[in-house]
Amino acid sequence: MSRPKIRDDLALVKGYHSPQVEVDVRLNTNESPEPPPAEFNIALRERLDSINWHRYPDRAALELRESIAEVESAAAGQALDADQVFAANGSNEVLQSVCLAYGGAARSVATFEPTYALHSHIAKVTGAEVISAPRDANFNLDLDAANELITFWKPSITFLCSPNNPTGGVETAETIETVLDLVESVGGILVVDEAYGQFAAHSALELVSEDRSLLVSRTFSKTWSAAALRLGYLIGPRWAVSDLFRVVLPYHLDAFKQAAGKVALDFHHEMEARVAFLVEERGRVAAALDDLPVDQWPSGSNFILFRPRTMPGDELWDRLLESGVLVRNCASWPGLTDCLRITLGTRAENDRFLASLRDVLG
């Protein structure tokens, strides 16, 4: 039997995977360490009773999008509405929809490495050419390199991740505006991935307007304690949201997901409290790392990137795993040899990580 062959341009592309290992302390995928409040489950059960399961869901997910707009208006510093919101199955489907609408064959997508691996992966899978420029030695965006890359290649889509995954750095408002000006000068669109935006001091949402080619994506997986829900969204100009609805599959958001997302948003004060706790823990863990033989990078997110000075990162990862603590091995990212990333967990989990790290490093 002659089997079909995968597209030539995907033959060497590997899928994106994070190890799923049963351990005492799992701090490798940047999830929230705490579930939603118990009241969330009660409210969701009540809402499910009103779903007509024999009918298709609201194709436009209008009620959910209205609630997202209402909640995010505070971070944006302006009144948003549903027509500025696009929701999908996790922020990865949001990014995929952007690539389907504005990328594809004979177009290019720009990234600045190291950064979130799905930006380049999704762009490649959807047929675009990926072009990249390295960040500087401290993993900050090199504006001269960005200028050269965007001016020469004229990418249709440019991705910025802020806070950047896996390094944790937050782009300044001035940097984002500079890159946005460059992107618009070549007729492209800028996507600022704010999957961890609530942990940072400022947001690119403040720059969203009808006359700017800017999209800001966010997710329920981190701050909303809803990684199992697989729900994400972006906020941008109405014309761009309209474009994205051209490429998304009909009824792509099921009724359960819409209901759960709407209920989660009703608990935004609890979300803010979780964020405040993790920011406090971020400072505590960073201070403890300062007393150990590791190098770390400033983070505006719910994780910290660090590199051991006294042993290879692979060995440290194995030793931590043996002690029941799973962190992310980031050695495969460009420029991150021997680097590990720890997701901030509960206070007890963070203490367990620090104790194991001290023990391994002597």
pLDDT in tens, 125-178: 999 999 999 999 999 999 999 999 999 999 999 999 999 999 999 999 999 999
Over residues 248-270, the mean pLDDT reads: 97
Please tell me the total number of residues recorded for the chain in this structure: 362
Residue 16 in this model has a pLDDT that exceeds 70: no
Domains of the chain, start order: 8-36+269-361 (3.90.1150.10), 51-266 (3.40.640.10)
pLDDT at 19: 63
Give the predicted TM-score (pTM) of the model. 0.95
pLDDT at 15: 62
pLDDT at 12: 59
Over residues 277-286, the mean pLDDT reads: 98
pLDDT digits (tens, 9 = 90+) for 289-338: 999 999 999 999 999 999 999 999 999 999 999 999 999 999 999 999 99
Q: Please, what is the average pLDDT of the chain?
A: 95
Q: pLDDT-derived band of residue 7, with 50, 70 and 90 as boundaries?
A: confident
Q: pLDDT-derived band of residue 10, with 50, 70 and 90 as boundaries?
A: confident
Q: pLDDT-derived band of residue 18, with 50, 70 and 90 as boundaries?
A: low
Q: Tokens for 66?
A: 């209205």
pLDDT at 138: 94
The Cα-based distances of 26 to 229, 247, 250 in angstroms read 19, 36, 36
pLDDT digits (tens, 9 = 90+) for 175-191: 999 999 999 999 999 99
pLDDT at 283: 98
d(CA 260, CA 45): 9
Burial of residue 324 (CB within 10 Å: 0-12, 13-18, 19+) is middle
Question: DSSP letter string over 101-164?
Answer: HH-STT-EEEEEESS-HHHHHHHHHTTPEEEEEE--TTS---HHHHHHHHHHH--SEEEEESSP
Q: pLDDT-derived band of residue 108, with 50, 70 and 90 as boundaries?
A: very high
